[in-house]
DNA sequence: CTTGACCTTCTAGTGACTGGAACCTTTATG
DNA sequence: CATAAAGGTTCCAGTCACTAGAAGGTCAAG
C-alpha cells in the first residue's frame, strides 16, 4: 500500500509517516520503484501510533509501548505502569489549565470591555491587584 | 540591575530573559562593561511576561498584550477579546485532556496488571475493542 | 504525449527555549 | 598582588514533533 492510502486510512499526514520511518517507528518495505510499501502490519502499527499520540503519549512513550506491544512475552503490568504514569501527567496538566482558566475568567469578568483605558486584565497580568489604584506597586 | 538579580526577582531563567531581548520583548540598557542593565520598568515588563506566559499566552499574544499594556489610549475591549479567545482555547484543551484521561483510565481499569500477555491497554491503543477476542478486527 | 497526481529526497523552519563553549569582568580571599 | 569564584557576554547547536517547500522521478488516464 502506498503512503497516501495509509495516510488516509490511519489519519496521519504522509509527512508524519515519513518522519516516523526516519526515527525508526515503522520500517515499510520498498517497491521496485523506490516507493514505500506498507503491509497490513505496518498500517496496524501506524494506527497504534496515531491513537497513542492522540492520547498525548510522547513519541518516546510510543516507542516503549510499541516494543511492549510487539513483545509477546511482556507483562501487562509494565504497560499499566506506563499508562498510569501518563494518566497522572494528564491530570496534572488538566489541573494546571483549570487554574489558568479560573484566573483568566476572573480577569475577564472584572473587565468592562469598553473604551476606557483602565483594564483589570492587564493590571492582573502585571501582578497588580485588580483594583484601579496603582499606589501599592513595589 | 544585572540579569541574575532580575532573573531571581521575576522568576525567569537568565537565558529566557536574553531570548526575550533577542526577539524584542525587552530592551535593557547596557552598562559601560557591556552588561545588561535593567530598570524597574524592564523588571515590570518581565514580570508581566512571566505571568502572561505562565497563563499560557503565546509569546506573540504577549507581544500584543504588552503593546496594549504600554498604549495609554488602548481600549480595554481589545484586551478582553484576546483574553477571551485565549480562555476558549484553554477550555478546549481541558476538554481534550479530559477525553484522554477518560479513555486512559478506562483502559487502565480494564487491565489486570499481572503477568499475562493479554493487555487491554495495548488492545485499546491498537483500536481494538477492549475484549480478549481479536476476531472482529477490520 | 501530455497532464496531473502521486512518489522520492533534501534542506530549512517552527516555538520557546536550553545547553555548552569560549571568553571577559568583578569581587573576595590568601 | 595573584588567583579563584561567580558573575557577565556572544554565538552555535540541540530540543520536540513535525511541517513547508524545492527539485525531481513515476505512473495511470485521456
B80 touches A at CB < 8 Å? yes
User: The domain that contains A20 carries what CATH number?
Assistant: 1.10.1660.10
A3 and A37 part of one domain: yes
Tell me whether strands A29-30 and A36-37 are parallel, antiparallel or unpaired. Answer: antiparallel
Closest-CA residue of chain B to A114: B77
Counts of helices then strands in chain B (DSSP H, E): 6, 2
**Res B126: pLDDT:** 63
Structurally, chain B folds into a number of domains equal to 1
**Res B89: pLDDT:** 79
A91 and A50 part of one domain: no
Whether B129 CB is under 7 Å from strand C: no
Strand D positions within 7 A of protein Cβ atoms: 7-10, 16-20, 26-27
> Which portions of chain B are predicted below pLDDT 70?
72-75, 112-138
**Res A131: pLDDT:** 32
Confidence band, pLDDT 50/70/90 cuts, at residue A24: very high
Residue B37: enclosing H or E segment and its boundaries?
A: strand B36-37
**Res B85: pLDDT:** 82
A80 and A125 part of one domain: yes
Q: Are A104 and B87 in contact (CB under 8 A)?
A: yes
* Domain, as residue range, for A36: 1-57
**Res B92: pLDDT:** 79
In a domain, residue B107? The reply is no
Closest-CA residue of chain B to A44: B126
In a domain, residue B89? The reply is no
**Res B24: pLDDT:** 92
**Res A130: pLDDT:** 35
| Separation between the CA of A19 and the C1’ of D20 (whole angstroms) | 14
**Res B35: pLDDT:** 96
| Separation between the CA of B2 and the C1’ of C27 (whole angstroms) | 15
Q: Which of A51, A90, A111 sits opposite B101 (nearest CB)?
A: A90
- Grid cell, residue A93, equals 496538566
Instruction: Tell me which of A135 and A43 has the higher pLDDT.
Output: A43
Whether residue A136 is predicted with pLDDT greater than 60 in this model: the reply is no
Amino acid at each position: 500500500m502506498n503512503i497516501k492510502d495509509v495516510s488516509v486510512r490511519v489519519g496521519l499526514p504522509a509527512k508524519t509517516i515519513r518522519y516516523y520511518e526516519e526515527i525508526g517507528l515503522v520500517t515499510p518495505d520498498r517497491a521496485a520503484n523506490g516507493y514505500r510499501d506498507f503491509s497490513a502490519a505496518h498500517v496496524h502499527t501506524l494506527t497504534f501510533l496515531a491513537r497513542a499520540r492522540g492520547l498525548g503519549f510522547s513519541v518516546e512513550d510510543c516507542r516503549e509501548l510499541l516494543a511492549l506491544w510487539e513483545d509477546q512475552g511482556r507483562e501487562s503490568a509494565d504497560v499499566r505502569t506506563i499508562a498510569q504514569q501518563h494518566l497522572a501527567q494528564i491530570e496534572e496538566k488538566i489541573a494546571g489549565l483549570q487554574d489558568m482558566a479560573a484566573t483568566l475568567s476572573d480577569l475577564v469578568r472584572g473587565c468592562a470591555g469598553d473604551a476606557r483605558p483602565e483594564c483589570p486584565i492587564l493590571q492582573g497580568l502585571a501582578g497588580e491587584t485588580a483594583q484601579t489604584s496603582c499606589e501599592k506597586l513595589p
